[in-house]
Every structure is written in C-alpha cells, then in structure tokens.
C-alpha cells in the first residue's frame, strides 16, 4: 500500500471515531444514563475501563475485537 492510502484510511478511522463519540453523547443525553466506558489500545493490547461491570465487560470484548482485526490487517501488509 502507498503512504497516501494509509493516510486516507487513518483519517477515515478518526472521522468515524468522532461520529461514534458524538452519537454516544447524544444518546446518553436523551436516556439520562450515567454509565461510561472506554478502551485504551497499547499496540494490540486492549485495556478496558467502565463505570459498571457490564460496561467494562463489553468494552473489553470491543477492544479484543479491534485487536484481532488489527492483527489480521497487519498480517496482510
């Protein structure tokens, strides 16, 4: 792949991330839910956190899915 393709895909991922954050903020303001969670990826290793065990568990699985997709894409390059 060319460097331009990497930059283009990176900008798309960042844009999608912003869209997901905005959608989450809008949906939480309507429901009044105070639950939150997130995933920090250090390389392919996910570190999950959340305000409840259910949120933390779902964040962990989301992070694991992202890590697997990352490893599969990285292997093809």
**pLDDT 10s digits, 18-70:** 888 888 777 766 666 667 888 888 877 889 988 889 889 988 998 899 888 88
Same-domain pairing of 20 and 43? no
Same-domain pairing of 43 and 59? yes
Same-domain pairing of 26 and 47? no
CB of 48 within 8 A of CB of 56? yes
More confident residue, 77 or 15: 15
- List phi, psi (to 5°) of 65: -65, -45
Q: How many domains does the chain have?
A: 2
Written in H, E and C, the secondary structure of 21-72 is HHHHHHHHHHHCCCCCEEEEEECCEEEEEECCHHHHHHHHHHHHHHHHHHHH
Give the whole-angstrom CA distance, residue 4 versus residue 10: 10
Domain range holding 57?
A: 35-77
Same-domain pairing of 49 and 17? no
Same-domain pairing of 44 and 73? yes
Same-domain pairing of 20 and 41? no
Give the whole-angstrom CA distance, residue 56 versus residue 42: 17
Same-domain pairing of 9 and 23? yes
Same-domain pairing of 39 and 27? no
């Amino acid at each position: 792949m060319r460097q331009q393709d990497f930059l283009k895909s990176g900008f798309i991922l960042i844009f999608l991330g912003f869209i997901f954050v905005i959608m989450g903020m809008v949906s939480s303001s309507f429901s009044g839910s105070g639950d939150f969670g997130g995933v920090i990826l250090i390389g392919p290793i996910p570190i999950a956190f959340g305000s409840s065990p259910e949120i933390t568990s779902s964040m962990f699985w989301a992070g694991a899915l992202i890590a697997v997709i990352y490893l599969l894409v990285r292997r093809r390059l």
